Chains A and B, each alone.
Chain A
Amino acid sequence: MEKMTLLQTFASAFSGKTWAIVLPEIYNTLYMVLFTTILTAFFGMLLGILLVSTDADGIYPCPRFSAILGGIVNGLRSLPSIIIIILTLPLSRMLIGVSYGPKACIIALAVTCIPMFGRLVESSILEVPKGKIEAARSMGAQNRHIIMKVMIPEALPSLIRNFTIAVVAVISTTALAGMLGAGGLGDVAVRFGYNRFKTDILIAAVLVMIVMVQIVQRAGDGLSKLVLKKRHLI
């Protein structure tokens, strides 16, 4: 392979040849990000609400359960994603029959991201002043009312911000998808850019990821601000 100057490398990063490799991987990444995000949003919310509610000071105190759940979450969060991917191989095989490819990757990514988003949801809900929950309770509200009508709506702007953080984390964690032969931008960056010294492809893949993260972050910030503005809190 002939040596390219820096300028040539940059020019090549925007060439049709490079994008022929990168473009299909955008689709792969989006596919994995989308489904991982859906799983993370659902189970992360559930986990966060469980963590807050079952805490000793929560609306449904269940300290032993809370301690076990918290322990599992901490355990999962302390493991590097790469280890989690290896650990979830049998889980994927059990759930979808195979332990490789985009679907298996989605399961591994979700297992990485759910505990993280769960903790973020927990901290968002804990920001809701105790007095508001108490006021609802004093009106005869049951736990489901408190969760659906007080905790989630009151924490919404903060939940949106934390959800944005989670989506960005999902995008960056998909770089590990290559481990499972699932492709995606991260995989391309590693396979071509690092292993084969194709810096132009590395640049193109990284640029696309940067743009994706920017869009997600902007959208999240905007939405959160919109809610705050509507409520006249800013």
Chain B
Amino acid sequence: MATTSDEKAKAGHFIRIAGLKKTFRSQGKSFEVLKGVNLEIGKGDIYGVVGFSGAGKSTLIRCINRLEEPDSGEITIGDTEITRLSKSELDMYRQKIGIIFQQFNLLDSRTVAQNVSFPLEIAGSKTSHSEVRVREILELVDLSDKADFYPGQLSGGQKQRVGIARALANNPDILLSDEATSALDPQTTLSVLDLLKDINEKLKLTIILITHELNVIRYICKNMAVLEDGKIVENGPVKSVFNSPKSDTAKLFMKIDAGFANFGWEGGGGI
């Protein structure tokens, strides 16, 4: 089973990113964040992009739904070239790409159910249809009992579940995760990752996540890429990258990871 789906993914890549470049300019200074990123991601994959701060992870993931406009390069999803869409086409297409954020970005003025129905409202769904959909999706993220709560009443983990529910409301093909677990404690992180794993299987959803936590990648990703200074320096199945890291960044990540694991009781801060 696993091999066939792997082969399928190899045969036709669902998401193709080619030669993606992005430079930020402010006050006469320019800073090249993405220096020609190439990536191919198969349908149904959980793809992790890891990198240190400033490597360009966030910019990369935000280019996929064009929250950030790339300067050059192509992003193709299925048969659609995202980078060529007009503004109104993009608005339509964005409904098929869900995104979750580190800071959740829920609307405090709306209840949980109303937050989840927000994307349906702007897509112009009928109220009766969205009510059913909201109930269904809250069931999926295990928050049915919190439908009429306000975000102000929820814990971080619950808020991120609402974020996930909202991202899934329009039945997207892709879910982008922009450091979605970085603000959560380890236990909550685990439960959110389990949820992502679960919806990846149930909904055949392709998930792209960026993180600086290697454990997140190890726990749920099938494939991964290492981003260093605006370029992909290494990619492949998670196991092979972990077993034989080639790039400096990957090696450093593994070293830090192993270092913490082997720190033991004698560590004591080197006194």
Residue of B nearest to A155 (CB): B109
B122–A233 CB distance below 8 A: no
Bound together, the chains give a CA A136 to CA B115 distance in angstroms of: 10
A149–B122 CB distance below 8 A: yes
Q: How far is the CB of B92 from chain A (nearest CB, A)?
A: 6
A-side interface mostly = helix
The proximity string for B residues 117-154 relative to A, scoring 1 for CB distances below 8 Å and 0 otherwise, is 01101110000000000000000000000000011110
A138 touches which of B65, B150, B152 (Cβ 8 Å): B65
A140 within 8 A of B: yes
Q: How far is the CB of A56 from chain B (nearest CB, A)?
A: 11
Bound together, the chains give a CA A106 to CA B106 distance in angstroms of: 41
B95 contacts across to A, CB distance below 8 A: 139-140
**Could you say which interface size class chain B belongs to?**
20 to 34
A145 contacts across to B, CB distance below 8 A: 121-122
Bound together, the chains give a CA A129 to CA B103 distance in angstroms of: 10
A218 within 8 A of B: no
A83 within 8 A of B: no
B252 contacts across to A, CB distance below 8 A: none
A–B complex contacts, Cβ < 8 Å, 17 sampled: A131-B101, A135-B101, A136-B118, A139-B94, A139-B95, A139-B122, A140-B92, A140-B94, A142-B91, A145-B121, A149-B107, A149-B118, A150-B107, A154-B109, A156-B109, A230-B150, A232-B150
**Given A132-B107, A139-B166, A232-B152: 11 more A-B contacts, CB < 8 Å:** A131-B103, A135-B101, A138-B94, A138-B99, A140-B92, A140-B94, A149-B118, A153-B110, A230-B150, A231-B108, A231-B152
